[in-house]
Amino acid sequence: MSGPVNSVSKQMNVDTDIITLTRFILQEQQTVAPTATGELSLLLNALQFAFKFIAHNIRRAELVNLIGVSGSANSTGDVQKKLDVIGDEIFINAMRSSNNVKVLVSEEQEDLIVFPGGGTYAVCTDPIDGSSNIDAGVSVGTIFGVYKLQEGSTGGISDVLRPGKEMVAAGYTMYGASAHLALTTGHGVNLFTLDTQLGEFILTHPNLKLPDTKNIYSLNEGYSNKFPEYVQDYLKDIKKEGYSLRYIGLMVADVHRTLLYGGIFAYPTLKLRVLYECFPMALLMEQAGGSAVTIKGERILDILPKGIHDKSSIVLGSKGEVEKSLKHVPK
């Protein structure tokens, strides 16, 4: 009997063969990397614990007054929200205790962290992206990207100042009414939803693919006078075609909608960070059949960062929509 046993339960509309993230990670290791050491699987499980714990604290936030500012500032001078600090500490502790992570880059930390012990991976993260939304009860998210340490490396900055195409895993978790996790390990994109009763992420959208075109555009038009002329021309053209504007102001949420519905998301000026915002989202997009470029049309995943907090412009989404926008780039 090879397939699932569910003939009776199906009639009762009960799924008795759910795929948890833990099961998915192990199955993927057995199928696509049978000779793997299992260290990436252990790292992904440490990541999912961090997401569950952050989700738990965000759900409690309004109850135990974890919203509001912490009074400190992060590496880039942003006023830190209490959940920023808690999310960062949860993430650091989960990565350190996994014993699989050697190097950690966090938006909340000025310098990269090198853990003692023998981890063989480097993780880049924005532990709580969009924290300014927290007080308004709007979704926030965690974004992550994973590099395998370079051959012979004992763990240092050279393990993360590399093109995003060398990442071996990436994704995000969006915390809202429930938590949604998008993950790629280079074999497509899968979406999981946290079942808080079960305490497990459940596979809800296997092998997600974007439609090639969709008339939705997503960017902060409030800054349009700062965009290059050709970007403003592009916006004029798509408005004439009746495109809908959807902009939440949280990269994780705007990218999540783009993954599910298609369309185009852009941040044409320099705000989003290469290592822990642009690279992970670009990897997800390409793995889901979309694309991700700078406003000049350079592939995001080919960028070679010079600093761990480098920024880049970004245009991502349905391949046909990104290509349409690039027709406006001056030759």
Binding residue (CB under 6 A) for ligand P6P from 4, 68, 249, 307: 249
Chain residues 197-226 in contact with ligand P6P, contact rule CB under 6 A: 220
Task: State yes or no: residue 251 binds ligand P6P (CB under 6 A).
Answer: yes
Considering CB under 6 A, how many residues would be counted as binding ligand P6P? Answer: 9
Q: Degrees (nearest 5) of the Cα angle 99, 307, 315? A: 100
- Three-state secondary-structure class, residue 213: coil
The answer to whether residues 139 and 279 touch, using CB atoms and an 8 Å cutoff, is no
- Angle formed by the axes of helices 251-261 and 279-287, to 10°? 10
Residue list 109-168, contact with ligand P6P (CB under 6 A): 129-130, 132
Closest approach, Cβ 312 to ligand P6P, in A, equals 13
Q: Which is nearer to ligand P6P, 202 or 281 (CB)?
A: 281
Minimum gap (Å) between residue 120 Cβ and ligand P6P? 30
Query: What pairs with residue 241 in β-bridges?
Result: none
Between 46 and 143, CB nearer to ligand P6P: 143
The residue among 293, 312, 24 whose CA lies nearest residue 184 is 24
CA distance 56 to 261: 28
Binding segment for ligand P6P (CB under 6 A), chosen from 112-120, 186-194, 233-241, 245-253, is: 245-253
Look at residue 86 and give its three-state secondary structure.
helix
- The residue type at 73: A
Q: How far is residue 197's CA from residue 245's CA, in Å, rounded to a whole number?
A: 36
Binding mask 271-310 for ligand P6P (x = CB under 6 A): x---------------------------------------
| Binds ligand P6P by CB under 6 A, chosen from 25, 250, 300, 301 | 250
Q: Decide whether 4 or 249 has the Cβ nearer to ligand P6P.
A: 249
Q: Residue 314 pairs with which residues in a beta bridge?
A: 267
Q: Which stretch binds ligand P6P (CB under 6 A): 50-58, 59-67, 83-91, 248-256?
A: 248-256
Alpha-carbon distance of 297 to 85, in angstroms, equals 35
Q: Closest separation between CB of residue 16 and ligand P6P, Å?
A: 38
45-84 mask for ligand P6P (x: CB under 6 A)?
Answer: ----------------------------------------
SS3 content of the chain, % helix, strand, coil (to 5): 35, 25, 40
Residue 194 or 278: the one with the smaller Cβ distance to ligand P6P is 278
Residue closer to ligand P6P (CB basis): 130 or 262:
130
SS3 string, 199-268, reads: CEEEEEECCCCCCCCCCEEECCHHHHHHCCHHHHHHHHHHHHCCCEECCCCCHHHHHHHHHHHCCEEEEC
Site residues, ligand P6P (CB under 6 A)? 129-130, 132, 220, 249-251, 267, 271
